[in-house]
Amino acid sequence: MGSSAADKALNLLRYLPRVCLANIRDNPGAVKKSRRGRGQHGGDYHGDGNKGSGQRQNFMRLGYETGNNPFYLRFPWEPYYKGHHLRRQYPPLSLEQLQLFVETNRVDASKPIDLVSIMNTGLYQIFPDKHQFGVHLTDEGADLFKCKVNIEVQWASELVIASVEKAGGTITTAYYDQHSLQAMINTKKFFERGIPIPRRMMPPPDAIEYYSDPCKRGYLADPEEISKERLVLSQKYGYVLPNIEKDKDYTLLTERKDPRQIFHGLHPGWVVNLKDKTILKPQNEDLKEYYAS
């Protein structure tokens, strides 16, 4: 049997109960009892004022009607805006603004216009972390719109689609998930992070219908259906549909991204090195399979 203090303490510990949530005590000072200090501010009334209702009356909680069925509980709940804070938002960009961007050389109409080129103007912003999912092209200035563009937006009305197609251009609506958007909003910053270009995710179930609808020019729709709908829309709005097959900019107007691609010409999985001006392409079979569309 040992005789040192440490041995005695260890011996004692064997017979003591284990420390657990049931028998530990709060840290000293952890629990503070709310006390109304009698002489705290020279013995005044602690915010209750002098005499009368302030000191003596019982102020009931908000909405309480002394035993009546309260007004705020009297009617059934009608949650019109339930989940509105979770819905996808598309900050607007008008056709008039787009026209201005093209005319003042902020956007190059000789290349396909997408979210990246609109963000690169510095005149339009989106915040993916605030549930903003891209551009909503609005119809302001639709009558004056005269730019032949190949534009890809995230949301567009029928009138907008008609005015873009009337001007001889093409429009696509495409979905980007938040990680892809984060890469697109500042490409330089993204490439400097040195991570592979993400593959674009498929739209969520409530958006897949929109993005595979040829009337909405969805990027997942059948191209033949889209060309049919182009003609239908031109007849509805009463304009002669420009023939893009015979257009000299046919390759520009028909350039489309792969559904898994977020940048034109750059495959997901590639790492762009801006310093050495090189592109690293993965060779592993599993990575190739992961990034394939």
Q: Which residues pair with 93 in a beta bridge?
A: 137
Neighbours of 115 (CB within 10 A): 22
- When binding is defined by CB under 8 A, the residue of 43, 122, 205, 238 that contacts other proteins is 122
Residue 173: left (phi > 0), alpha (psi -120 to 50), or beta? beta
Is the Cβ of residue 154 or residue 261 nearer to other proteins in the bound state?
A: 261
Cβ(200)–Cβ(268) below 8 Å: yes
- Is 192 near other proteins (CB under 8 A)? no
Cβ of residue 50: shortest distance to other proteins, in angstroms? 35
Q: Which residues pair with 94 in a beta bridge?
A: 138
Using CB under 8 A, count the residues that bind other proteins. 45
Tokens for 163? 């005015």
Cβ of residue 270: shortest distance to other proteins, in angstroms? 8
Nearest residue to 197 via CA among 107, 113, 287: 287
Is the Cβ of residue 93 or residue 221 nearer to other proteins in the bound state?
A: 93
- When binding is defined by CB under 8 A, the residue of 65, 103, 209, 222 that contacts other proteins is 103
Cβ(139)–Cβ(171) below 8 Å: no
- When binding is defined by CB under 8 A, the residue of 32, 84, 85, 188 that contacts other proteins is 188
- Is 195 near other proteins (CB under 8 A)? no
- Is 116 near other proteins (CB under 8 A)? yes
- Footprint on residues 202-261 left by other proteins (CB under 8 A): none
- When binding is defined by CB under 8 A, the residue of 90, 93, 113, 117 that contacts other proteins is 117
Alpha-carbon separation of residue 113 from 57, 102, 161, 168 (angstroms): 67, 10, 15, 14
- Is 25 near other proteins (CB under 8 A)? no
Backbone angles phi, psi at 183, to 5 degrees: -70, -30
* Whole-angstrom distance, CA of residue 231 vs CA of residue 254: 16
The residue range among 126-134, 184-192, 205-213, 225-233 that interacts with other proteins, by the rule CB under 8 A, is 184-192
What is the enclosing helix (H) or strand (E) of 172? strand 170-173
- Is 100 near other proteins (CB under 8 A)? yes
* Whole-angstrom distance, CA of residue 80 vs CA of residue 84: 9
The contact mask relative to other proteins for 144-173 (x = CB under 8 A, - = no) is: xxx---------------------------
- Is 119 near other proteins (CB under 8 A)? yes
Cβ of residue 99: shortest distance to other proteins, in angstroms? 5
- Is 292 near other proteins (CB under 8 A)? no
**What DSSP state is assigned to residue 183?**
H
* Whole-angstrom distance, CA of residue 74 vs CA of residue 69: 6
- Is 6 near other proteins (CB under 8 A)? yes
User: In the complex, which residues of this chain contact other proteins (CB under 8 A)?
Assistant: 1-2, 4, 6-7, 10-11, 96, 99-100, 103-106, 111, 116-117, 119-120, 122-123, 141, 144-146, 186-188, 191, 263-266, 271-272, 274, 277-284, 287
